[in-house]
Every structure is written in C-alpha cells, then in structure tokens.
Amino acid sequence: MELQRGDNDNAAIWGGTSAVRAPEFTVMALQSRLHSIGLYSDSLDGIFGPNTEKALKIFQWCLKHAVYVMKEDMLADYSPSVDTELNGRCGSSTRSMLETWFENQYISTGDLVRVSTAELSNIQLSPMFAQIGGPVVDRGEFLIARAAAPMIGHMNAFASELDLVVSINQSLRILGSEVRGAVVKPATRSQHYIGHAVDCNLVDGDNWNTTSDFRNKTQTANADRFILAMRNAGYRWGGDFSRTDPPHFDSQIDAQSFDYDAKVFLNQKQISAGEPIEKLPVQ
C-alpha cells in the first residue's frame, strides 16, 4: 500500500481506497516524519494534500540529489544511494528511507556554499554587492550553489588567462526579499533564487564592459574572449538571451522542472532558517 494524495486518516482512505483498519503508517505519521526532517511545516492533520505531496517529493529528490544534511545543527556530507522514484507517493522504499533519516536525526538542507574572493585571483565583489546570508557569511564571501561552484572556478581561470577582473554584483537572491517596498513585482523564477547565477562586470583595465558597452558594441576584445570561453565550457551568458542581459552568467537548471522547485525550497530555507553553510575552496 502506498500513501498518496487524496488519502485521509479521518475519512479512512489509504492507498487511494477506503479501508476498515488503519495502516501501521498513517498520513499523520508521514507528515510528522516530513516535519521532523524539515520539509513539512503545514498542520499535521492526516490529510494528504498538495503540501504533503510536495514535501514528500522533495524528500525523494533529496534521496537522489542531496549533497548535505544537517545533523545536530552541523552540516554533514550526504551520499545519495537510493534511486527512489520521484512520484510523491510513500511506498515501502520511501518509508524505509524516511525512517533512516529520522533515526539518524538528519534534517534536509540546501547545497549553498560560501566562496571567498580572497582565494580567487581574478574575482572581486563589486562595491554595489549586497551581502546576504546573515552571520554565517563573512565579509568578502558570496553564496553560490555547490552544483554551480565549478562555474566560478572557470570564471576565475578564464579571467586570469585574459587579465580581466570579474566584479560580481549579485549571486544568490532571496525570494520575497524585494517585496517590501517593491516598485515593480519581483520575478517568481530566477536562476539567482537557487544560487546558479551571477551578475557581474568584466573589468578590463579602465573598461568595466557595462551593459551599455555591449549594446553599443564597445566592449573589449578580452570580454568577448571570456564570454566565448564560458560558452564553450557550457554556461549561459545573458547576452545570448533574446532580450540581452550582458552581466548575467548561469549554470542553468530548467526553471519549469521539479529540480528547480526542490532547489528553491531547500536553498532558500538554508538562508531563512539560518542553516549552516560550508565554505568551499573553488578550484
């Protein structure tokens, strides 16, 4: 029997059908487990609705993709080993892993890492860079998803070869932070919300290679070479978008995919809940 959306302890519906006897593992027990691992914050009402389903799908996603978990408020490496289907239903394998996480006192977290510009020869934070991440982020550090950290390594290497300085204006963006006092409606989906994008200027001597430079085609030859190298390494440059966004580079995750939804939830929670963030040396 798999617990699934529509199941309801109060109405005695489990596994999609009415039953006389309650199963050993009820919807409320499932919600309680999901709550304990930091994925479910709605009421423990025994009703398997969309929020329970989403929390369960994120758990299944973690089983395949998580890099870290929290244990006793500390970060621990996590090695996904179970190839659980991402279906939002709680069968025996998902339940078994839920119990494993519960017994190990694992709490879900994101894959954000702190990167220090002090360790990067050709990357700096722009004077306009707004530091986020609260007390866990030191001066001179910025946040990026670990999955996107190789992009920073490539940027530094290409900038070093071309004698450019990458001046970062923004990396991770906090979902909803601009709403208070916003003059325009903030975007709902962006690679910045998952830590997969940076906005930057490619400083070449006195030339900041601004958006206006790219629009007027007055950017430097080294900026063009840098962009070509980034493209060849598999990254997206905003200047290639249909409406150009020259400061933007990203290591894209399809914003319509569940991968994106899971990463938004986990990485934004990592900031909003003040979860620890590892400092990662970028090669």
Q: List residues near another protein by CB under 8 A.
A: 126-128, 130, 169-170, 173, 178, 180-187, 189-192, 199, 201, 206-208, 210-212, 215, 238, 241-248
Residue number, 3 or 148, with CB nearest to another protein: 148
Shortest spacing between CB 234 and another protein, in angstroms: 18
Residue number, 28 or 198, with CB nearest to another protein: 198
Shortest spacing between CB 186 and another protein, in angstroms: 5
Shortest spacing between CB 206 and another protein, in angstroms: 7
Residue number, 20 or 184, with CB nearest to another protein: 184
Residue number, 76 or 128, with CB nearest to another protein: 128
Shortest spacing between CB 259 and another protein, in angstroms: 17
Q: Which H, E and C letters describe the chain, residue by residue?
A: CCECCCCECCCCEECCEECCCCCCCCHHHHHHHHHHCCCCCCCCCCECCHHHHHHHHHHHHHHHHCCEEEECCEEEECCCCCCCCCCCCECHHHHHHHHHHHHCCEEECCCEEEEEHHHCCCEEECCCCCCCCHHHCCCCEEEEEHHHHHHHHHHHHHHHHHCCEEEEEECCCCCCCCCCCCCCCCCCCCHHHHCCEEEEEEEECCECCCHHHHHCCCCCHHHHHHHHHHHHCCCEEHHHCCCCCCCEEECCCCCCCHHHHHHHHHHHHHHHCCCCCEECCCC
Residue number, 189 or 279, with CB nearest to another protein: 189
Shortest spacing between CB 149 and another protein, in angstroms: 21
